[in-house]
Amino acid sequence: MQHNKETERSELHKTIWRIANDLRGSVDGWDFKSYVLGMLFYRFISENLAGCINQRERSAGNLDFDYAQLSDTQAESGRALTVIEKGFYILPSELFANVCRRAREDTDLNETLSRIFTRIEGSARGNLSEDNFKGLFDDLDVNSSKLGTTVARRHARLVSLLTAISDLPLNHGSHFAHNTIDLFGDAYEYLMQMYASTAGKSGGEFYTPQEVSELLARITVVGKSEVSKVYDPACGSGSLLLQFIKVLGRDKVEHFFGQEINLTTFNLCRINLFLHDVNYANFDIVHGDTLTDPIHWDEEPFEAIVSNPPYSIRWGGKDNPLLINDPRYAPAGVLAPKSKADLAFVMHILSWLAVDGTAAIVEFPGVLYRGGAEHKIRQYLIDNNYIDTVIQLPPDLFFGTTIATCIIVLKKSKAENTTLFIDASAEFIRSGNKNKLLATHQQKILTAVTQREDSAHFARLIPNEQIAANEYNLAVSAYVEQKDEREAINITELNAEIDRIVARQTKLRTRIDAIVAELEGESDGTAK
């Protein structure tokens, strides 16, 4: 069964890769992602809504019910109930499959799609789901010249796009809930990974590799079978938050919270949550700057926090007089440098972490040893025993950078004044043009995190007093001794080899002296 599932996934990925490249044409892949991902989302919510309505009606005894075959007038009667349940509504004529079937003959296809997207967002207006649907289709501009310089070319491109998304093998059964959710979510994750890998530096800004995301989630829920609220203050496309479903199970996380400063990525995150069938009532993703305008004051603290915040970005820092008195930053007595906001994210996360919670944060390694304000923030963190573990990751895991990043694990209720250092820099395999953490690598790291025991060349548990004496340096290399990969030297054999070399050198020198003497004899006539 597992082999069949992996084969199916591999074939799906090959199909997605081919379609995405065939459709792109002259449009830059990074720009075109919004069209492929947006149409995938449109298909998903259409099938999700129709499938759930069909299931509800057929369970009530209407065995031949097919929502897609209803007239829009007939369908209106079910709008109110469905919006409460799903958060949105799509009339039968506006379902993806019906629009796709008529697309080639619809000369105003771009206007049809634009109108449908507006209506889908409008169906949530005035309901609890309004904020979760607002602006979801903003990046899917069906009137853009990127699709073609003429109406005819844009029409042809949209028809090809709809047809290609329709042909993706994402629905292999009659029961939507059991046959398509994982496939849609997997397809979306693969597309995001694909676009991130070809987007250069910008790719890493919205996508964290799944194996790293999974490791972060597992670290934060050690010993827990369920959590109430999970949070990511720089949530990108939501890949970290969604790992809690994989780690704990779909019904073991009550609510997902996140904030994202980039508008396009903010939309990608909400779409990603929908595609993984997270109901609108179970997530609250907001747009804005977490460091200066955090939105979720009424929801903190959080049991589990995961994050891969942007590395060393600029922020207001000391130029903003309000920040030094901000309850998130004030305890350290100093603000993170204006040019490096890394530890500002750490302080924010610590402030919003529950007393019995755990946070795992991917960080640029410079935060572990740089001086100035960052040194003072590290001092605050160590003196108050908030840092649980520092993990050195392998290089070249992330898109857009080859640097070896690290993970900082925070806790507020530690039993001992110690910090664990783990050197996982060698825990990877080379996969394509990037390094990758396998499940065995993840487990080795996780075991070390939970056992908190010394392991030669891999893990060391250090008293915080020792860290303080070492100028609050948190670099893993300062505490975990590197393994000497050089071959052991046998002194006896080495001395014997030296003796052999010296003896041969003496023999050769004697022969050379004899040859030189003979040549000199010939030159003065004394040679025989």
pLDDT tens string 288-304:
999 999 999 999 999 99
- 85-120 confidence digits (pLDDT tens): 999 999 999 999 999 999 999 999 999 999 999 999
Most confident of 94-98, 320-324, 516-520: 94-98
Which one has a higher pLDDT value, 379 or 505? Answer: 379
Under the banding of pLDDT at 50, 70 and 90, the label for residue 203 is very low
Closest CA relative to residue 48, chosen from 162, 180, 169: 180
d(C-alpha 200, C-alpha 204), whole Å: 8
d(C-alpha 138, C-alpha 120), whole Å: 12
Under the banding of pLDDT at 50, 70 and 90, the label for residue 27 is low
Q: What's the whole-number mean pLDDT along residues 269-276?
A: 92
What's the confidence (pLDDT) of residue 146? 81
Under the banding of pLDDT at 50, 70 and 90, the label for residue 523 is low
Strand 406-411 versus strand 387-392 pairing type: antiparallel
Under the banding of pLDDT at 50, 70 and 90, the label for residue 514 is confident
d(C-alpha 219, C-alpha 521), whole Å: 85
| Mean pLDDT for all residues in the chain | 88
What's the confidence (pLDDT) of residue 173? 43
Under the banding of pLDDT at 50, 70 and 90, the label for residue 264 is confident
- 436-490 confidence digits (pLDDT tens): 899 999 999 999 999 999 999 999 999 999 999 999 999 999 999 887 655 566 7
Strand partners, 302: 353
Under the banding of pLDDT at 50, 70 and 90, the label for residue 524 is low
Which one has a higher pLDDT value, 56 or 491? Answer: 56
Q: Phi and psi (nearest 5°) for 418? A: -135, 160
What's the confidence (pLDDT) of residue 268? 87
Answer whether residue 23 shows pLDDT above 80: no
Query: Are 36 and 191 spatial neighbours (Cβ–Cβ below 8 Å)?
Result: yes
Query: Are 421 and 227 spatial neighbours (Cβ–Cβ below 8 Å)?
Result: no
> In this structure, which long-range contacts are made by residues 53-59, counting pairs with CB atoms below 8 Å and at least 24 apart in sequence?
53/78, 53/82, 55/175, 55/176, 55/177
d(C-alpha 377, C-alpha 291), whole Å: 16
Closest CA relative to residue 421, chosen from 450, 397, 388, 378: 388
CA 319 → CA 207, 367, 377, distances in Å?
Answer: 31, 21, 18
Strand partners, 418: 463
What's the confidence (pLDDT) of residue 177? 40
What's the confidence (pLDDT) of residue 450? 96
